[in-house]
Chains A and B, each alone.
Chain A
Amino acid sequence: MHPSRRYWALVGVGVFFVLLAVVLERPLVLSGAAGIGAVLVVSQATTVSAFTDTDDSLDVEYTLSQSRVAVDDTMFVTMSAQRPTESDVAVTVTAQPPLAADPIDESERQLRLAPGTTSATTSFEMTVPLAGRVELSEPTVTLADRQGLFKETYQRGPTETLTVEPRTPRDIHIGQGGDRMLAAYGDHPQNQSGAGLTPAGLRQYLPGDALNRIDWKATARQASPYIREFEVEAERTTLLIVDQRAAMGVGPTGRTMLDFTREVGLGLVQSAAEYNDALGLYGVGDDGLTVTRAPTATSAGYQQIRRALHELEPTRPESQSPDTETTAHPAAARRALRLLSMDDSVLSERISPFLDASDAYVQRIQGDPLFEAVRRAQMNEVGQTWTMILTNDSNRDQLRETARIASKRGHSVLIFLTPAVLFEERSLATRSETHQRYVSFEEFRRELHGLPRVTTFEVGPSEQLKTILNSESVSPPSESSS
Chain B
Amino acid sequence: MAAVWLAGPIALVFVGVLGLGVVVLSSPFAFALGQVLLLGLPTDGAVIAIVIVECGLCCILLSEYSLLDNSGRYQLGTVMALAILGGIGVAALVLSEQLWVVAAVWTALIAFVAYGLHRVELVQLNLVRQET
Whether chain B is bound by chain A comes out as: yes
A interface residues, Cβ below 8 angstroms from B: 1, 9-10, 13-15, 17-22, 24-48, 51-52, 55, 86-88, 146-147, 152, 154
Contact status B38-A28, CB under 8 Å: yes
13 contacts between A and B (CB under 8 A): A13-B32, A17-B32, A27-B99, A28-B43, A30-B99, A32-B36, A35-B31, A39-B64, A39-B78, A48-B124, A86-B69, A88-B68, A154-B127
The DSSP consensus for interface residues of chain B is helix
Neighbour of B39 across the interface among A25, A26, A47, A152, CB < 8 A: A26
Given A1-B121, A152-B125; A10-B102 close (CB under 8 Å): no
Contacts of A41 in B (CB 8 A): 81, 110, 113-114, 117
Contact status B117-A38, CB under 8 Å: no
A147 to B26, CA, bound (A): 10
A66 to B73, CA, bound (A): 48
**Chain B residues numbered 68-103 whose CB sits less than 8 Å from any CB in chain A:** 68-69, 73-74, 77-78, 81-82, 85-86, 89, 93, 99-100, 102-103
Neighbour of B89 across the interface among A1, A34, A36, A40, CB < 8 A: A34
Contact status A30-B106, CB under 8 Å: yes
The distance from the CB of B54 to the nearest CB of chain A, in whole angstroms, is 6
Contact status B67-A146, CB under 8 Å: yes
The DSSP consensus for interface residues of chain A is helix
A202 to B36, CA, bound (A): 80
The distance from the CB of B129 to the nearest CB of chain A, in whole angstroms, is 11
Given A25-B99, A88-B68, A146-B68; A39-B28 close (CB under 8 Å): yes
What 7 new A-B contacts, CB under 8 Å, besides A36-B28, A52-B125? A34-B86, A44-B118, A45-B77, A48-B120, A86-B69, A146-B68, A154-B130
With CB as the reference atom, state the residue of chain A lying closest to B76: A42
A13 to B30, CA, bound (A): 11
Contact status A38-B81, CB under 8 Å: yes
Contact status A88-B103, CB under 8 Å: no
Contact status B29-A13, CB under 8 Å: yes
Contacts of B124 in A (CB 8 A): 48, 51-52, 55
A33 to B86, CA, bound (A): 11
A184 to B125, CA, bound (A): 60
Neighbour of A30 across the interface among B74, B102, B113, B118, CB < 8 A: B102
Given A17-B35, A18-B103; A37-B110 close (CB under 8 Å): yes
